[in-house]
Amino acid sequence: MLDESGVVIDDGVVARLGPEAFYFTTTTGGSATVFRELLRLNALWGLECALVNVTGHRAAFNFAGPSSREALQPLTDVDLGEEAFPFLGCDADASRALLPPDARRLRGELGYEIHVAAGDAVTVWRALHAAGLPRGLRPFGVEAQRVLRLEKGHLIVGQDTDGLTDPFEANAAWAVNMQKPFFVGQRSLKILQARGPRQVLVGIELPDSSRRPRESHLLIDRGAIAGRITSVAHSRTLDKVIGLAMLSPELARAAGAIEIRGDHGDMIAARIVPTPFYDPSNARQRIPARVAAP
């Protein structure tokens, strides 16, 4: 989501539930801001639509992992097979199984966001927990989720971007269709596209995992400031320190070695690398159903 100046102000998922019904999600802290902006645009454009903020009325669960489809299927009569419920699918039909009738399932990589009425949250949590335990289910926290998104190179608006970052700088040009007749911020983006980016979001990795820089540490090239780290973490899956950084376009294109200035002025070696760090071919978005053992 952009403002009129082309700056990235939020991101989320929009699911089409019917010909004229849409379900919006936003970042956790952005729901009130986005709702206010949509109300403003609705009034400005004189649209014949109604907007309702249901954030306080619904609960959501992220049920993810290689066995998530098999664990979730007994709880719903909706076909969760790859063909019937593909990547980026959304189900808004009533479920007559253990999930409440108004439950919504949004499919990501092999995982699901399950949105239910807030009053059903405890019941659904217990059902999901019980269904997943035989397959090794474990609850996970926000920090684990932040590392997982970093492994896939997914940015966090407001952390990996700032109040001037446009989609081209955020390495998110794929999300902007400049051939559309109109979208908010399009006119500004045409000007920004012609000007070129001031900085570019890139991936970095450290050859020495024992030396971990912090977010906002500066990237240095030949003694001059060339950028800053926006996210950094140790990936247990990859067994290395990885991060995202805003960097000058020239160095981003060069994709070579770079140095990071640490807390006490010490220099930490790093490399500029492509993202995503993990599963770059996105093969795990389409994992076939497992065959149950006899």
Domain residue ranges in the chain: 14-147, 154-273
pLDDT classification of 287: cutoffs 50, 70, 90: low
For 231, the token pair is 């996210």
Q: In the chain, what percentage of residues exceed pLDDT 70?
A: 91
pLDDT on residue 78? 84
154-273 CATH choice from 1.25.10.10, 2.40.30.110, 3.40.50.720, 1.10.1330.10: 2.40.30.110
pLDDT for 67 beyond 50: yes
- pLDDT tens digits, one per residue of 236-271: 999 999 999 999 999 988 878 999 999 888 999 999
Q: Do domains 14-147 and 154-273 have the same CATH topology?
A: no
Q: What superfamily would CATH give domain 14-147?
A: Probable tRNA modification gtpase trme; domain 1 (3.30.1360.120)
What's the chain's average pLDDT?
Answer: 89
Q: Which residue has the higher pLDDT, 111 or 288?
A: 111
Q: What is the pLDDT of residues 249-258, one digit of tens each?
A: 999 888 789 9
Q: Which two tokens stand for residue 219?
A: 């990237």
pLDDT band at 120 (very low <50, low <70, confident <90, very high): very high
Q: What percent of the chain has pLDDT over 90?
A: 66
